[in-house]
Structure formats: C-alpha cells, structure tokens
Structure 1
Amino acid sequence: MSGSREILPGSTVTLHFSLSLPDGTEAISTFGEEPLRFQMGDKTFQPGMEMALYGLKAGDEQTLTLTPEQAYGDPEPGLVQRLPLTDFGELTPEVGQIMSFALGEVGETMGIIREIDGDEVVVDFNHPLAGHEVVFRVQILAVE
C-alpha cells in the first residue's frame, strides 16, 4: 500500500495539526480547514515538533505534550520592549492584545501588549507559546 511510507528527513507531509495549552486553550488548528503541506526540515515546525513526526505514516494520529524546550523555548527578556505610545499612531493598544509590527524589509512580527505605562507600551515579541508546555496533535494525511 502506498500510504505506508514513513515520515523521514526531507519527506513532504500533508497533515492536520493543532497546538494548544495543557488546559485545552487552542492556539492554532487546521482541523476543519485546509490541511498543511510542508517539507520536513523547512522550519515550518520547531525541531522538537518535527522529531515527533518521524516514523508516522498516512492515517496515523498522535497527541503529544511538548516541553517549552521542545516547542517554542523559554521567553527571552530581550524580546520584551518598551515603545513610546506615539509609535502606535491612531491605534489604542490594550493589554493582552496581539498586534502586528513592521520589521522594515524583512516583513512583520507579532507582539503581545503586556503593559501600558503612561506614555510607554510594553510589548512582548516572544512567541505567544514560549515558556509553555504545548499539546501538539497531528493527523497525517499523506507522506511523499
């Protein structure tokens, strides 16, 4: 059967996946949407997540709880920045809000508003799941 091919380095994999916190709060999910197709090693997933996929075949489903180190690492204090409120122009940031920030020619990044301190805004540019255990659920649809 052609569906019995195992995921190896360089395999092209089509899958559904979700990432959630141990309490069940879902951060992202493709279940019920378009599946994700990617090549192992292309940095779509963190290395610890890719390790969990090796050896799986089409039809396999797996749910793993990953440590922060296997998922998005620990938060880096250097990625928490104080920005002047004037940088936000017409926008009124709110604590807990996730906003997109331009990075010049390299695109953009997401930041979480952690605190508004007078005319300064504390923005955390760490991945929202950094420092958390992550429940990684996958359903393998195809392996090429």
Structure 2
Amino acid sequence: MIKEGSKVKFDYTLTVDGKTADTSAGRGPLEYVHGAGHIIPGLEEELTGMKVGDKKTVKVSPEKGYGKVLPEAIRRVPKEAIGGAENLKVGDMVGASNAGHTFRAVVKEITDKEVVLDFNHPLAGKELTFDVEIKEIN
C-alpha cells in the first residue's frame, strides 16, 4: 500500500482540455518517492493508500497542480534583449536564465519593439485528469 516513503512506479496518461498532454506509454512507468514532493500535490494525495494493480482516474485542480496563472509572470521584454528575436513566432518556447536558474517561457505576443513572454508553467490554471495504474511499490 502506498504510504509516506514508498518507492512507487505507476503508468499514467495526463489529459488536459480533452487532449492527451503526457503519458508514460512507450517510456515505462514513472517512479517517485511518496511524500518527497517529486510529483504534484493533488496527484500524490490521491495515490495514498493505493495498491499494486489499482487503477484510478484523478482530477487535480490548478491549486493542487501547477498553480494559477500569475499575471506577474507575464513580462514585456525589449526585442534587442532576446537573441534571435527576429525569428520568433507566437507560441514558441524560449529559455532564459537569472542567477543560475533557468526558466522557460512561451512567446505570447510580438510587437515592433517588444516580445511578451509568459513564464507561467504551460499547465498553470488547468484542471488535470490523470488515469493511473500502480505497477510497483517498494
């Protein structure tokens, strides 16, 4: 039975807005330590007490998933501050670093002088649906 400190392997399919966003199919089960904060809180809570072979569909709210969309995480950046800005398109993913931390952002808008970048997690503000099957517990 899954409890604090259990090493768990599980298969999953993540559905967001009716589309498959991620799956362990073809890659093998995801492995994590229960209670260590390796997976989002809403999913971890729902896996507590499950046994090998158990299957479950779990709905996770944004608050217990990747959080709400934070307006302060959307930034307007001068085009000249971004290398290769002339090649960017809306929807592109770009990387940035600050004080040794690397961040990813999605290009939301491009004007003559600026690029609007969204540093929110791509799944922020989304309800997540996980179909899980527990494969192994140690």
Q: How many correspondences in the alignment?
A: 137
Alignment root-mean-square deviation, CA: 1.6
Q: CA deviation at 1:88?
A: 2.4
Runs of 4+ in 1 over 6 A off after TM superposition: none
Question: CA–CA distance in 2 between the matches of 1:28 and 1:100?
Answer: 21
> Structure 1 residue 104: deviation in Å?
4.0
> Is the CA contact 1:72–1:127 (under 8 Å) kept in the aligned structure 2?
yes
Amino acid in structure 1 at the alignment position of 2:22: I
Residues 34, 103 of structure 1: alpha-carbon distance in 2 compared, 3 angstrom cutoff = farther
Tell me the alpha carbon deviations over residues 14-61 of structure 1, each in whole angstroms, 9 at most, x when there is no partner: 1122322132x2222112213221111222212111101101111112
Q: Which runs of 5+ in 1 are unaligned?
A: 1-5
- Give per-residue Cα distances to partners, 1:75-133, cap 9 Å, x unaligned: 11111111122232125221112223233423x22211111122211111111111111
Match status 1:16 vs 2:16? no
- The yes-or-no answer on 1:46 pairing with 2:40 is yes
TM-score (norm 2): 0.88
Partner of 1:3: none
Counterparts of 1:10 and 1:22, CA distance in 2: 32
Cα distance change of structure 1 residues 72 and 141 upon mapping to structure 2, 3 Å threshold: same
Work out the CA distance in 2 between the residues paired with 1:93 and 1:87: 13
Is 1:142 matched with 2:124?
no
Instruction: Identify unmatched segments of 5+ residues in structure 2.
Output: none
- Normalization by structure 1: what TM-score? 0.85
Q: Residue 22 of structure 1 contacts residue 135 of structure 1 at CA under 8 Å; is this kept in 2?
A: no
The equivalent of 1:120 in structure 2 is 114
Q: How many angstroms apart in 1 are the aligned matches of 2:98 and 2:25?
A: 31
> Per the alignment, do residues 53 and 69 of structure 1 end up closer, same or farther by CA in structure 2, a change over 3 Å counting?
same
